[in-house]
Amino acid sequence: MLDASIRYFRVLPFVAFVLLASCGTQPRGPAVPEDLGSAAVALNNPAIRSWDDDLNEAFLTEIIAASERELQRSRADDGTFAPMHFLAISGGGSDGAFGAGLLSGWSATGNRPEFKVVTGVSTGALTAPFAFLGPRYDEKLRRVYTTIVTNDIFRSRGVIAGFFNDALFDTAPLRRLMESLIDEEMMRDIASEYQRGRLLFIGTTNLDADRGVVWNIGAIAASGDPGALKLIHDVLMASAAIPAGFPPIMIDVEAEGKKYQEMHVDGGTKSQVFLYPPSLDVVSQFRRSGINRERHAYIIRNARFKPDWEEVPRRTLAVAARSITALIRTQGIGDLYQIYMISRRDNVDFNLAYIPDSFTERPNDHFDPVYMTKLFELGYRKAAAGFEWSKVPPGWVDNMDFEVPTIEVPPN
């Protein structure tokens, strides 16, 4: 949700929060010491999560084992393997209705693939479990993105209360909504798919460590731990926790026998969308096993790429809000460039969908069901008609045809 936070929460006094940060502090458990960051585990299980830039051995071993399960069932009688499909869903707040509609319209064509890996950040994290479980969850996803209103997501605490708390808004309504949608039955379905070798990754940001974290939701669901469902809810809430707007999520961990608390916020503070951690060497793993397999990546960017023109008032908060909006938009484009280069490195077919510039509707509220329904229907229609995926990120030009000028350097 972070990339839409400025557009939707223009009233958030970011600068005021910085200036008044010392006015009040909410209690929390001790943070993990810096030298123990990599040793801290949740649910007493080191395999369920990792830093996104340095995969730990237990996490890597777990996903390799899952991949081997999927590989075995993907082998045809002639020894070939079915194509592998990846799906990455970005943040975007209520613009997530576009991705939800696209997935539902894709189902209607009858050729939506089963994804080997699904990843989500922010609003994409809320969409990802439904996308992971496939078309049978499309109706639930449609209801979420066409019927909810702002009060179903958050309520204002008031500016004064916000200064003395950990955020301006109370997201208890979102927690209740999530708990009603992602229940024990859905967790069992996720665990079942994980046993088949499919992977569901969600990104959060550990604010204490200032590092991105990738969570293996299937491994959590299949762990049998009594705290598994709550942790899944916590991770999804954290991935959508817009800093200063929504409360951070405190996650209990242990390191060297001591208990700590980590502060997690919106995964979009590190990456608007991710395919898989860049340090995961997919090609080498396939080469070692002697497997030649077709791979396709589908990235849904719940945003427009065209900048919105706006006359900015000469006021501190207006300048700050507009600047952060621009920063987040360009960060999202940069993330797509990174995914594109990873795809080229790993010989993965790149496919990108995003909200077209022709869609000019604007919401009347933070979560406006009329606006979201129109956006959902746009995504649905385009997918049902046979979506034309972009093969490169915005602004990318391959095989540019121009002459490099010769520069003559005079002799010394």
> What is residue 116's predicted lDDT score, i.e. its pLDDT?
96
pLDDT at residue number 184: 97
Report the relative pairing of strands 84-89 and 49-51 from DSSP bridges.
unpaired
How far apart CA 234 and CA 376 sit, in angstroms, is 26
Are 367 and 155 a contacting pair, CB within 8 Å? no
H-helix or E-strand spanning residue 118:
strand 117-121
Predicted local distance difference test score (pLDDT) of residue 162: 59
CA 300 to chain centre: 10
pTM score of the predicted model: 0.90
Q: pLDDT 10s digit of each residue in the chain, 412 long?
A: 545 544 545 444 444 444 454 455 678 899 999 999 999 999 999 999 999 999 999 999 999 999 889 988 888 888 788 899 999 999 999 999 999 999 999 999 999 999 999 999 999 999 999 999 999 999 999 999 999 999 999 998 876 665 667 778 999 999 999 999 999 999 999 999 999 999 999 999 999 999 999 999 999 999 999 999 999 999 999 999 988 889 999 999 999 999 999 999 999 899 999 998 877 776 666 666 667 789 999 999 999 988 888 899 998 878 888 888 888 888 889 999 999 999 998 899 999 999 999 999 999 998 999 999 999 999 999 999 999 999 999 888 776 555 555 555 566 5
DSSP per-residue codes, 256-322: TTEEEEEEEEEGGGT-S--SS-TT--HHHHHHHHT----EEEEEEE-S--SPPP----SSHHHHHHH
pLDDT of the residue at 31: 97
What is residue 99's predicted lDDT score, i.e. its pLDDT? 97
Q: What's the pLDDT at 158?
A: 75
Opening angle at CA 35, ends 33 and 41, nearest 5: 70
CB 140 within 8 A of CB 147: no
CA count, 13 A, side-chain hemisphere, 350: 20
